[in-house]
Structure 1
Amino acid sequence: MNLKLLGEVFVTLLVIVDPPGMVPVFLALTGTMDSRARMKAGTQAVLLALGVIVGFAVAGQTLLDYLHVDLPALQGAGGLLLILVALQLLTGKADEPAEQGGTTNVALVPIGTPLLAGPGAIVATMLFVQRAEGADEYLVIGIGILLVMLTVWLVLRFSGVIVKLLRPAGIEVLTRIAGLLLAAIAVQLIADAIDAFVQLYINAP
């Protein structure tokens, strides 16, 4: 097994996904849920993120080429989606009790994507796949992705301990802070997408 490649994939994706940084947003979106619903939301989010990343690793470039979509467009779309979620957190709408099926919705968007399976993780995975030579390296990349998702799941799984310590008032404060951080991430994603588009068209033949 190529341990160097495994380490590169694991460290790169772990830094991009940033499990500790995910905790405030995850708690802000699931703070009103009971522990069972929160665990279910975390599991669903990780499974969706795993499916999206593996899907793009296998057929991402082909899909984007078919749709005539550049990677910066994907990045910009993720940023716009995060802005909507950030506004909900900042205005307190995310604190309202979830309707039936709300757990699944929160798990899918925005936790599963674009927070976990965002443009950064997708692009990094696609680049690793393009560099891979042979089935053994594809397998190593797959193992690296699985290890990262397992790490994320463990972090989200035990985030309930933080909820017990913070109590409702602490969760409310954390929600506002998470909204502000999420808005900053969204603006950065959009700015990076604009910069990438400018560079793309400047360098176009």
Structure 2
Amino acid sequence: MSELVNTVLLIEVFVTLFVIMDPVGTIPIFLSLTGGRSASSARRAAWQAVAVSFFVISLFAFFGQQILGYLHISLPALQGAGGLLLLLVALELLTDNEQEPTASAGTNVALVPLGTPLLAGPGAIVAVMLFVESVDGVADFVAVSLGVVLVHLSLWAAMRYSLPILRLIRESGVLLVTRIAGLLLSAIAVQLVADSVRAFVAGEG
């Protein structure tokens, strides 16, 4: 097994991405964004969000440097853009906006903001790109690939099995969770923007 997979790298990739993508922390945000939807719609949103995230992560893993280089986009710029997008979503969750994502059953929240930039955000993209750059041989490649797959399975399980919680807390609970999720998202967004500005000031952008 150790000849086929670099288990140390596998654990490092999984733990790093698990902390960054935070499956447990996505539960209140997922509940708030799918609160006005049917159970089948919420289940569909869960796997769609994971599929979108996996596609984006895989795309940047293989072609990230080329994409950013071709578009003349720096990693801090990508980070700042993701933070601003999340901040807009957070403000909608924190206010009584009738157009907020939880109110519109026609809004595909699985694509934005769940799939990206919440799951496949700048932090996860940069981490995977760095892991891919360090790959040296088949065992390392398999380890990185397995780590990414396992984290996405964890994300799907967290969102999929949050639905019983949604049925339990009902409408008033969803409202409370929505406000908490908005607060968490706003903090994540501000941190992303702050890190981006810090990188630009340090001359890394």
Normalised TM-score (structure 1): 0.93
After TM superposition, give the deviation of residue 66 of structure 1 in Å: 1.1
Q: Is the 8 A contact 2:32 2:175 kept in 1?
A: yes
| 2:122 is the alignment partner of 1:115 | no
Q: RMSD over aligned Cα, in angstroms? A: 1.2
For residue 18 of structure 1, the aligned residue among 10, 15, 22 is: 22
Q: How does 1:16-55 map to 2 (within 5 A)?
A: 16-55=20-59
Residue-by-residue CA offset, 1:90-147 (whole Å, 9 max, x unaligned)? 1133232322xx2xx2000000000100000000000001111023311221111001
The aligned residue for residue 109 of structure 2 is 106
Q: Counterpart in 1 of 2:196?
A: 193
Q: Distance in 2 between matches of 1:163 and 1:96?
A: 15
Structure 2 segments unaligned to the other structure (5+ residues): none
Q: Which has the higher helix share?
A: 1
Deviation at 1:12, TM superposition (A): 0.4
Q: Which amino acid aligns with 1:181?
A: L
- Runs of 4+ in structure 1 off by over 2 angstroms are 92-95
Corresponding position of 1:124 = 127
> TM-score of the superposition, structure 2-length normalised?
0.93
Task: Tell me which residue corresponds to 2:187.
Answer: 184
Q: Please tell me the residue identity of whatever aligns with 1:108.
A: L
**What secondary structure is seen at the aligned counterpart in 2 of 1:98?**
coil
Structure-2 separation of matches of 1:92 and 1:4: 47
Q: Does 1:57 align with 2:61?
A: yes
* Number of residue-to-residue matches in the alignment: 198
Structure 1 stretches of 5 or more lacking a match?
none
Aligned residues of 2:6 and 2:142 also touching (Cα < 8 A): no
1:167 aligns with one of 166, 170, 184: 170
Percent pairwise identity:
55
